Amino acid sequence: MPLEDKPKWIRVKIPSGPTYSRIRRVLRSKALHTVCEEALCPNVADCWGCGTVTIMLLGDVCTRSCRFCAVKVGKPMGLVDEDEPERVAAAVSELGLDYVVLTSVCRDDLQDGGARVFAEAVRAIRRAVPKARVEVLIPDFKGDRDAIEAVVRSRPDVIGHNLETVKRLTPIVRDRRAGYNLSLNVLKTVKELDGSILTKSSLMLGLGEVEHEVLEAMADLRSVDVDILTLGQYLSPTKRHLPVAEYIPPETFDRLRDLALSLGFKGVASAPLVRSSYKAAELFQRVLKGDTYGG
């Protein structure tokens, strides 16, 4: 199959519908960014249609240049929007969200990498919507333990950090300042600081990895007690980004899901269009109930 021709199992809905439109309107009114839009996520129609949204903190300019990511790259020059956490909380309240995911661009221009803003946003949501569950998907903060601890102390329900790809491909796929072992250490540090917080990570497939490398990456994630794993197909956002090496069939994702569960992950989402935050609330609720869940 020519890689320019996406297989039949890659089907992306065109964003539409009243819930989608309302979310878009509220986020625009609060001058907020979402990774759903900035990273060209294929699930924006599905997730927004169900009232699930991933808000991107700290602006829309990233200091890193990963070869898989569509988010714009540049120099934010240390600028921080101090009112952003309160606007995030206001949006969560106005939309009536009971589960929200917060992520951010990488901000290597900030001493703490933006950890303070994450923590303030979590606390602002807690004040505005006390019953809301909050998941954060954090950058590596250069491995700074104090920065990671600042986020942990804000007590989100889930802390995610993505490994993204297998060890061999990390220097090719990710920015040179990222690192396979660095990411594992971030996840390890979260558990050392507070073992009660669920941790989560994600791998993209179809970048040229082989299966034993995926199994090695999953085992490495379990070695640092990661609770939840998501597996999805890499889709090149533009011709400037890394090309897709292979389209992985759904049955392979099913098999990898079962293998991941056998390694001890408490929750696994594995399918071609799965992304880090895909069905995040459902995964969390099933894990919280003590169900070993694979979807």
What angle do the packed helices 211-223 and 250-263 form, to 10 degrees? Answer: 30
Q: Are strands 54-57 and 33-34 parallel, antiparallel or unpaired?
A: antiparallel
On whether 50 is known to bind a ligand per the annotation, the reply is no
Rounded Cα distance between 124 and 102, Å, is 12
Read off the pTM. 0.92
Task: Give CA–CA dist 37/187, Å, rounded.
Answer: 26
CATH fold group of domain 18-294: TIM Barrel (3.20.20)
| 20-24, 50-54, 71-75, 195-199: range with highest mean pLDDT | 195-199
Per-residue pLDDT tens over the stretch 30-89? 989 875 554 445 555 555 555 567 899 999 999 999 999 988 899 999 999 999 999 999
DSSP state of 200: E
Q: Residue for token digits 């199992």?
A: 9
Answer yes or no: is 66 a known binding residue. yes
**Is 277 one of the annotated binding-site residues?**
yes
Instruction: Say if residue 106 carries a ligand binding annotation.
Output: no
How far, in Å, are 56, 131, 171, 204, 282 from residue 51 at the CA level? Answer: 16, 16, 36, 24, 12
Contact (Cβ atoms closer than 8 angstroms) between residue 158 and residue 196: no
pLDDT in tens, 257-272: 999 999 999 999 999 9
Is residue 164 classed as helix, strand or coil in its secondary structure? strand
Which two tokens mark 273? 């269009």
Residue with tokens 């700290």: 58
